[in-house]
Amino acid sequence: MDVELFRTAKQARKGSMDSYWAYTLYRGPQGEKVRVHYCKSNYTTERVCQYFLDERVIGLDLEWVADARKSSGARRNVCLVQLASPSRIALFHLALYPKDDSLVAPSLKLLLENSDISKVGVNIKADCTRLRTWLGIDSKGVFELSHLYKLVKYSASGETHLINRRAVALAEQVEAVFGLSMFKGQDVRSSDWSKPLKMEQIIYSSSDAYAGPQIYNVLEQQREALDPTPPRPYHVELGLPIRLADGKTVVAVEEGAEDVEFEDNEEASYVPPEEELIKSASDTLTFEPDLEEAGPKVTRTARSAALPKTEVAKPVKDDRVIAAEDWLAEYRASCKSPPRATAAALRAYHIWSQNHDLSPSAIASILRNPPLQTNTVHTYILDAIKKEKLPFEHARLRDEVLAEVPARTLSSRYAALERQTRTTEVSSTD
């Protein structure tokens, strides 16, 4: 947490916007802000999930339409999936996916079902039940923050008889751990999460997910400082009791009591975010539409509230982009069926393959201003080659692209391409 921002929040008048805890208070080692990726397609979700596959602890939260019923379908019962690591937050807006998109990106399922990655949150078992019911995701590595919170709090005070598996509201934990109230509001909580997000919703949902790993890290430090030190609680799906430092275990509460969904016990009325908080949050946002797809529709609600119109970026049309678009039109016309790769991927591939002096990072700047993430260009190039069986120069693909892809992604998605690059001749995929 940024010391100056935290001090300002602590000194602010209680109830004012400056007094709230939110993800915008945090900075990286070089002063960089936490990045927020807003995704509204399976493709962009798959791409952004790569950022989280090597994390050991991530925050997990869901939003859905308050009046959703079984007959409402998956998109209203799981509108938004939020993930958070220390450096970035992902908002996967399933409710806005194209109609023919699968709601479950392969890497999202891989991540959530990986027991080696702890997914932390409050009342998280209920969220994971919702994921299993509506999306067929059998989450593993599920960690209830309330168990750790009570273990640390009551072990320190000697009141171990108060330790149980009942959920403690996230807002209560944030205030206890950080001494600040969360940015919340009943109007935001009960809003329609099936529609494009407003800035208030982005701040709220991002902060909810980001609070998880931040609370976890602080509580883990406090647990390890206890003498004697109680063991860390088990992952929820194991169904095992909370262990105390003396070797005793907590008697389980009545069946299902820890799974009950609840509203946070808050009396504060909704306070709309002030311009400064909106500006701070908008500076962290990365919208993740494909270049030619419905980007303006994704961002219109949030950007109109947050950024001057002059700041909306447009793709730079230099000669290499124009040449790629001409090639793309010819390529599409030559195909008997629509290409499997997206236009954005094919365009990036053509620029890379025809311009040996351009690195993926340079291509990222050519395709868009502000530049795309370089790893997005890596994914575009690899997906175009893989899906369309396009020719490539083995050594160049290996050194410029595959070498920059996380090992787990490489083995799960591009292993065949990696094997092919062990030779040096120019070829196409099998």
Mean pLDDT estimate for the chain:
83
Give the Cα-Cα-Cα angle 104, 107, 111 (nearest 5 degrees).
Answer: 100
Q: What's 236's domain CATH number?
A: 3.30.420.10
277 shares its domain with 335: no
Helical (H) or strand (E) element with 172: helix 170-178
Q: What is the number of structural domains in the chain?
A: 2
Cβ density class 257-292: b for 16+ within 10 Å, e for less: ebeeeeeeeeeeeebebeeebbebbbebbbbbbbbe
336 shares its domain with 188: no
Domain that holds residue 348: 319-428
331 shares its domain with 378: yes
Please state the length of the chain: 430
258 shares its domain with 387: no
> What does the pLDDT read at residue 279?
58
47 shares its domain with 185: yes
152 shares its domain with 196: yes
Q: Is residue 357 included in any domain, yes or no?
A: yes
331 shares its domain with 255: no
> What does the pLDDT read at residue 392?
93
Q: Is residue 296 included in any domain, yes or no?
A: no
- Single residue among 287, 307, 328 that ends a domain in this structure: 287
Listed residue (56, 67, 25) closest to 232, CA to CA: 56
275 shares its domain with 408: no
118 shares its domain with 221: yes
| Phi, psi torsion values for 166, nearest 5 degrees | -75, 145
Q: Please give the chain's pLDDT, 430 residues, in tens.
A: 667 777 777 777 776 667 789 898 998 877 889 999 999 999 999 999 999 999 999 999 999 998 889 999 999 999 999 999 999 999 999 999 999 999 999 999 999 999 999 999 999 999 999 999 999 999 999 999 999 999 999 999 999 999 999 999 999 999 999 999 887 655 666 788 999 998 889 989 999 999 999 999 999 999 999 999 999 999 999 999 999 999 999 876 544 445 444 444 443 334 455 555 665 666 676 666 544 343 444 343 444 344 343 343 444 467 899 999 889 988 988 988 888 888 888 999 999 999 999 999 999 888 876 677 788 899 899 999 999 999 999 999 999 999 998 887 888 889 889 898 886 544 445 4
> What does the pLDDT read at residue 297?
41
> What does the pLDDT read at residue 426?
46
Sign of torsion over alpha carbons 308, 27, 189, 62? positive
Q: Is residue 298 included in any domain, yes or no?
A: no
218 shares its domain with 150: yes
> What does the pLDDT read at residue 134?
97
